[in-house]
Amino acid sequence: MNLGNKFPWYSAGLHFECLQCGRCCAGPEGGYIWVSRPEIRLIADFLKMHVKELKRKFFKRVGLRLTIVEDPHTLDCVFLQQTKQGRGCVIYEVRPAQCRNWPFWEHNLVSPGTWNSTGRKCPGINRGRFYSPEQIQDKKKNKKWWRNGKT
């Protein structure tokens, strides 16, 4: 398969291994973590909450979409909390696709420069597990993760 044109710079694959530091979920920069309707339902079931209450407490509307609320002071995602195991995502098992696909986001993959500069925030970049171009592509497209069980 000729991946040369499709993957102009990462055709030899990339390395990434999450170190569970939580920096990608934290401020100081704000951001949007978009959630789809099925994901909201999954999070509601996981937290044993009604969808209405969940939306009111943890999501806000931006345009036509819903995004997760951030702590107003730190700009951390509200689901990044202190747990018995340390600081982590309290909805990890049902976290949205956008969180699952990190750091293989379109704008992080524009060039080696954008990838390496993302690595300044995410220490898991360029270390550990090897991802082939096909696996990276798979990650990027994995929007309906609950259907195929892929993480």
Q: How far apart are CA 13 and CA 136, in angstroms?
A: 8
Residue from the set 24, 49, 51, 69 that interacts with ligand SF4 by CB under 6 A: 24
Show the tokens assigned to 14. Answer: 């990339």
- Closest CB to ligand SF4 among 8 and 74? 74
The reply to whether 22 sits near ligand SF4 by the rule CB under 6 A is yes
Q: How far apart are CA 110 and CA 9, in angstroms?
A: 9
- Closest CB to ligand SF4 among 3 and 88? 88
Residue from the set 7, 59, 66, 124 that interacts with ligand SF4 by CB under 6 A: 124
The reply to whether 151 sits near ligand SF4 by the rule CB under 6 A is no
Q: Are 88 and 81 in contact (CB under 8 A)?
A: yes
Per-residue string for binding with ligand SF4, 84-113, x by CB under 6 A? -----x-x---x---x--x-----------
Smallest separation (angstroms) from ligand SF4 to the CB of 100: 8
Q: Count CB neighbours of 83 within 10 A.
A: 11
Q: How far apart are CA 17 and CA 82, in angstroms?
A: 22
